Amino acid sequence: MIKDIAIKGTGISFRSPHWRSIMETKPDIPWMEVLADNFMGAGGMPAYQLDTIAEHYPLTLHSVGISIGAYAPLDFDYLAELKTLKKRTGAIWLSDHLCFTHAQGIYSHDLLPLPYTDESLKHVVERLNIVQDFFGEALLIENPSSYIDSQSNTFSEAEFLQQLVRESNCQLLLDVNNIYVSQYNRHLKCDDYLYHIPWDKVAEIHLAGFEQHKGILIDAHNNPVSEPVWQLFKQVLEVLPNVPALVEWDNDLPPLTDLIGEQQKAESIRQQILSHRQISTFEKEFVAPVKTRKEASTHTLLDLKHWQTQLISAINGDTLANKKMQGHLRKTPMISNDDALGIYQNNYQGTLINTLEQCYKVCRQLIGNDAFRQQAVRYIALSPSTNQDINQYGSRFSAHLMALTNNDPRYSALPYLPDMAKYEYLYQSIYYAPGPPANDLSGASKVNSEMSSDLLIVTLNKHCRVFTSPYPISKIWHIHEEGNLEQLQLLNIEHTEHCLLYRNHELQLVTLPIAHAQFQLLQKMTTTTMPLSHFVTLSETLGLEPDTLLPQWISAGWVALSETLALETSSLKTETPSSCIQE
């Protein structure tokens, strides 16, 4: 990794689809920003891509899951993973957003706005100080785009950020696209926002593209930077010509060359300003902003906790919560409160639909795009996201499809649809699963009395999964993936299969047919940590040869052999191996 290099100039956001082009061309980019949540806890190809990028470019980390404004307790497991990732990549700094992302155990996978009140300010400052102490450094907090305002607001967003900086000593990530989107949708001037920015605390600038829908600007990160945002960027650079900037592009990704074109344009603007810089109006007249007290509504107002629970319920499809929420929002000239809440609801639903479509590609082919989307919408209504890691969403989709095949005669010809969903979810899980631990293979070449000690444990690695079905699911899947649908007519659909799905040493995903006895042994290992003595006994009971099998499985990376404390292993002796066999 590259360490101790100051971040300068204009960088780009790293996205995995660009990885190969980056490694082949090694573009002259001064730095890159990594969306941390795409790589936390991941092994396999995502981890390899990140490691190789870190070897060639200085990095910063940008997260979307700290949820600094959430009323729910801080997730220290998440923070620990984030800290580990920062150390691993040598990232120069860490940034997140002024928002909350979850409430009542439901995750929006979006940046939801806070009421800008004294209560919110105190809450965010307290949490931010805890997080900064945890990391031992100041965080960069980004201004979000937003479409609603609480009637209880007594600060503008810029005033709130200024107070937050003063009381927490954090730094700012100034997203000029977000400023433009939020101000445009409210018929407010961007200059009014900029006058309240504490310029000495701005450590990074973001650029991105929006999309326009029915006259409303949506912060979609799926287009080139717009001309008004370029003009706003120039205004900011007149004050901060040397602050690093970054071009984001998250959705509908273009070729890498297009993204680099945006980066080069941003850097060209910077160099032009540096060559004939004049003191900007903001810099000449800047005075430390004073909080402007606004009159809150005379209606009964939602406190921070109830604001968050009502909003998360509203975007999750609760019509009563939606109606109540509208009564606590200020009216804006460009968009109704109902439509504004609809933006968040569409973002939430669209994100989860896309997640299901990416995971269950063959299931989508089997029932058709329209039918799949209908089932995805129904599933989302019944199964909200309950995990920050969006790749874990959809684990119960196979049960949803089972009910569909049982109750809808249109899908009676697809009895294997639920099993296909199970297979595809396992396939995705293996792609992101952590890699195997390092093993000492020298002692595994032969199973002997010393190795049979209960101090040795055999564990199925996390990037390996066993799968069984009364249908040849893996063959059906490959036929659809390869587009050879005519081969389905030649396939015996009534054929039970047992297989192991795993990620090999070249990081490729592999499906391997295995014998029933091997399946039974591996399946048992998915539910328990197995002392080596139990592994040997169960293998022999199943007619397998453990002294041959174990070294092969360790070498292939399927299982790990490790030591454990005698006290720990004693608790694992719960039943005799023969009683564990599943027919």
DSSP string, 139-202: PEEEPPP-S--BTT--S-HHHHHHHHHHHH--EEEEEHHHHHHHHHHTT--HHHHHTT--GGGE
| Residue 151 maps to a domain | yes
Rounded CA-CA distance 253/113 in Å is: 26
Same structural domain, 33 and 85 = yes
Question: Which residue, 371, 393, 424, sits at the end of a domain?
Answer: 424
**Per-residue pLDDT, 96:** 98
**Per-residue pLDDT, 299:** 53
Rounded CA-CA distance 215/217 in Å is: 7
**Per-residue pLDDT, 394:** 96
**Per-residue pLDDT, 4:** 59
Q: Report residue 442's pLDDT band, with 50, 70 and 90 as the boundaries.
A: very low
Domain range for 380: 340-424
Q: Is the pLDDT of residue 203 over 60?
A: yes
Residue-wise pLDDT tens digits, 74-97: 999 999 999 999 999 999 999 999
Same structural domain, 446 and 558 = yes
Same structural domain, 181 and 212 = yes
Higher pLDDT, 38 or 282: 38
- Top-confidence range, 297-311, 349-363, 436-450: 349-363
Tell me the C-alpha to C-alpha distance, in Å, between residue 140 and each of 165, 214, 442.
10, 33, 48
Same structural domain, 381 and 266 = no
Higher pLDDT, 196 or 444: 196
Same structural domain, 488 and 566 = yes
Tell me the C-alpha to C-alpha distance, in Å, between residue 495 and each of 59, 236, 412, 474, 476.
50, 65, 18, 11, 11
Same structural domain, 277 and 256 = yes
Higher pLDDT, 59 or 291: 59
| Residue 318 maps to a domain | no
Contacts of 519 by beta carbon, 8 Å cutoff, 6+ apart: 466, 468, 498, 499, 500
| Residue 499 maps to a domain | yes
CA–centroid distance for 76 within its chain: 17
Question: Which residue, 285, 307, 325, sits at the end of a domain?
Answer: 285
| Residue 290 maps to a domain | no
Residue-wise pLDDT tens digits, 222-233: 999 999 999 999
Rounded CA-CA distance 114/98 in Å is: 8
| Residue 83 maps to a domain | yes
Whether 528 and 456 have beta carbons less than 8 Å apart is answered as: no
Same structural domain, 183 and 275 = yes
Q: Is the pLDDT of residue 158 over 90?
A: yes
Rounded CA-CA distance 158/197 in Å is: 6
Same structural domain, 366 and 494 = no
Same structural domain, 101 and 148 = yes
**Per-residue pLDDT, 575:** 33
Same structural domain, 156 and 26 = yes
Q: Is the pLDDT of residue 533 over 60?
A: yes
| Residue 311 maps to a domain | no
Q: Is the pLDDT of residue 315 over 50?
A: yes
Residue-wise pLDDT tens digits, 484-515: 887 877 677 778 999 999 999 999 999 999 99
Residue-wise pLDDT tens digits, 384-394: 999 999 999 99
Same structural domain, 193 and 91 = yes
Beta strands in 473-535 (DSSP E): 497-503, 509-513, 530-531
Higher pLDDT, 490 or 271: 271
Percent of the chain with pLDDT strictly greater than 90: 80
| Residue 295 maps to a domain | no
Mean pLDDT across the chain: 89
Residue 454 sits in a domain whose CATH number is 3.90.930.50
Q: Report residue 565's pLDDT band, with 50, 70 and 90 as the boundaries.
A: very low
| DSSP 8-state secondary structure symbol assigned to residue 249 | -
| Residue 452 maps to a domain | yes
Pick from 351, 503, 477: nearest CA to 424: 477
- Top-confidence range, 101-115, 265-279, 329-343, 520-534: 101-115
Number of domains, the chain:
3
Phi and psi (nearest 5°) for 557?
A: 85, 15
Q: Is the pLDDT of residue 261 over 80?
A: yes
Question: Which residue, 285, 302, 320, sits at the end of a domain?
Answer: 285
Same structural domain, 397 and 490 = no
Residue 104 sits in a domain whose CATH number is 3.20.20.150
